[in-house]
């Protein structure tokens, strides 16, 4: 039976509806129609000023952003900021190899990236000084410092709020899910559940199917007819209640949810099985490799912001045992992503960003690991006008502190927003009516473009 209820309480449901979503249609969930909350984002923009702005009269650089997040913090010493002249306790066990950028060496476990550095820009001066996973993650994903509880909406949520939907795909997708430690981060925070990411799941899983976009089993004609009957019932109930904008527009949101579930183009965006075995092998048959491949498909389909969440980079002990496995998977997946997007022409209007929340300590500890280090880290940028082969920033001879061009979290977020044509200093209103800037400070990393 239907479960229709009206309330004015501050309440967030498990499916992401915010405190202003007054209607619950419990009977629709078993039929894959739990996406309705996602589509209220587009309607909430109606009547508001244009969400995107041209920077200094210039059109946006990018249509989409693809963020590869290395949760836990990749060791800069053992990847893209090697210190071969340092003592063994600092340089670690890996040797450096030359890349296709003159004067730049990378870790020997990154041979494919060594041949890809001419297509990306390397920032070796990530800096914020915070060594706490949750706080640092929320900071680098939102551009604003807060508590470990995710006080501020992540870039993807802000992008969803500001740009709305493109066709039948959600604007913000996380593959396989949002970054997480003790708490799930990369969320919409006070913007509300309607701007939350759509979690795609692990595309490397056996018989991968995206939640809400496919039925558990083939739908019979009777089930299809019942689905449409339920939709018509919701339409009728909504129209019967006048004077409540939330309910009056709910039928539209629900129809959009049904369209997304049934539309071939929406389903195709998430259908990684449509890729050839050769392409899937090139990315690597790992969660990370297949997540990168799915992210490329989503960008092709018009998703505004995709987060590829790759955890497991927090190596306090036996770091080299872990990196022996992690670095080759990253090497294969990320290099394939860059080359594939370049060949398909997607880098022209897609900004690709790769980063963790911080780097690792200069010295290898007593447990053969490296601990948290917020004073230095590395990031990669590509596409949407980024000048390939650039090396921005530097650290001292031990990789301990930034010595040239420190890049703050707000600088990264400013760069992302500016690329999409979003004013990073625009004022938004919290649910309590308090005006707050998207970012309080920060500037575009101009060296990426000039």
The full set of domains in the chain, from first to last, is 57-223+264-448 (3.40.720.10)
Portion of the chain with pLDDT greater than 90, in percent: 65
Q: Both ends of the chain: CA-CA distance in Å?
A: 61
Q: Is the pLDDT of residue 115 over 90?
A: yes
- What pLDDT does residue 18 have? 38
More confident call, 342 vs 225: 342
Average pLDDT score over residue span 315-332: 98
**Among 166-170, 250-254, 401-405, 414-418, which is the least confidently predicted range?**
250-254
More confident call, 3 vs 165: 165
More confident call, 233 vs 91: 91
- What pLDDT does residue 171 have? 92
Q: Is the pLDDT of residue 189 over 80?
A: yes
- The rounded distance, in Å, linking the Cα atoms of 372 and 52 is 37
Beta strand pairing status for 64-70 and 305-310?
parallel
Average pLDDT score over residue span 248-273: 66
* pLDDT band at residue 212 using 50, 70 and 90 as cut-offs: low
Residue 124's nearest CA partner among 77, 87, 85 is 77
DSSP assignment string, 162-191: HH--BTTB-SEEEES---BSSSB-S--GGG
Q: Is the pLDDT of residue 216 over 60?
A: no
Residue 389's nearest CA partner among 161, 133, 5, 115 is 115
Beta strand pairing status for 391-392 and 121-123?
parallel
Tell me the per-residue pLDDT of 299-308, one tens digit each, with 9 for 90 and over.
Answer: 999 999 999 9
* Helix 155-163 and helix 409-420, axial crossing angle in degrees, nearest 10: 20
Tell me the per-residue pLDDT of 24-57, one tens digit each, with 9 for 90 and over.
Answer: 333 333 333 334 444 443 443 333 333 444 444 5
More confident call, 226 vs 430: 430
Beta bridge partners of 105: 98
- DSSP conformational letter for 372: E
Q: Is the pLDDT of residue 71 over 80?
A: yes
In contact, 64 and 269? CB cutoff 8 Å: no
Mean pLDDT of the chain: 82
**Among 30-44, 81-95, 121-135, which is the least confidently predicted range?**
30-44
């Amino acid at each position: 039976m239907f479960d229709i209820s009206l309330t004015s309480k501050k309440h967030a449901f498990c499916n992401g509806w915010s405190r202003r979503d007054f209607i619950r249609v419990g009977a629709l969930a078993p039929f894959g129609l739990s996406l309705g909350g996602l589509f209220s984002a587009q309607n909430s923009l109606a009547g508001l000023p244009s969400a995107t702005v041209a920077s200094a009269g210039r059109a946006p650089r990018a249509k989409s952003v693809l963020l590869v997040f290395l949760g836990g913090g990749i060791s800069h010493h053992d990847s893209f900021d090697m210190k071969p002249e340092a003592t063994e306790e600092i340089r670690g066990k890996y040797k450096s190899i030359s890349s296709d950028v003159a004067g730049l060496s990378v870790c020997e476990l990154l041979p494919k990236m060594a041949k890809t550095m001419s297509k990306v820009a390397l920032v070796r001066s990530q800096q914020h000084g915070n060594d706490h996973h949750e706080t640092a993650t929320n900071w680098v994903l939102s551009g604003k410092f807060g508590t470990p509880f995710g006080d501020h909406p992540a870039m993807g949520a802000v992008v969803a709020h500001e740009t709305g939907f493109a066709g039948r795909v959600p604007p913000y997708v996380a593959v396989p899910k949002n970054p997480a430690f003790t708490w799930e981060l990369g969320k919409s925070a006070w913007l509300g559940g309607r701007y939350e990411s759509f979690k795609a799941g692990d595309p490397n899983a056996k018989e991968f199917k995206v939640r809400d976009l496919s039925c558990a089993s083939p739908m019979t004609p009777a089930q299809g007819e019942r689905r449409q009957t339920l939709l018509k019932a919701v339409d009728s109930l909504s129209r019967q209640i006048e004077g409540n904008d939330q309910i009056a527009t709910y039928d539209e949101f629900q129809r959009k949810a049904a369209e997304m579930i049934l539309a071939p183009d929406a389903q195709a965006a998430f259908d990684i099985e449509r890729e050839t075995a050769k392409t899937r092998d090139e990315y690597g048959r790992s969660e990370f490799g297949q997540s990168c491949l799915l992210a490329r498909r989503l960008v092709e389909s018009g998703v505004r912001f995709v987060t590829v969440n790759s955890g497991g980079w927090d190596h306090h002990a036996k770091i080299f045992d872990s990196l022996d496995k992690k670095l080759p998977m990253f090497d294969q997946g990320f290099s394939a992503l860059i080359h594939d997007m370049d060949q398909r022409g997607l880098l022209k209007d897609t900004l690709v960003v790769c980063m963790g929340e911080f780097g690792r300590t200069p010295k290898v500890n007593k447990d053969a690991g490296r601990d948290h280090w917020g004073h230095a880290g590395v990031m990669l940028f590509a596409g949407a006008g980024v000048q390939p082969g650039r090396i921005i920033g530097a650290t001292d001879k031990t990789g301990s502190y930034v010595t040239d061009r420190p890049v703050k979290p707000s600088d990264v977020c400013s760069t992302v927003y500016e690329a999409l044509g979003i004013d990073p200093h625009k004022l938004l209103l919290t649910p309590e009516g308090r005006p707050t800037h998207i970012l309080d400070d920060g500037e575009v990393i101009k060296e990426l473009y000039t």
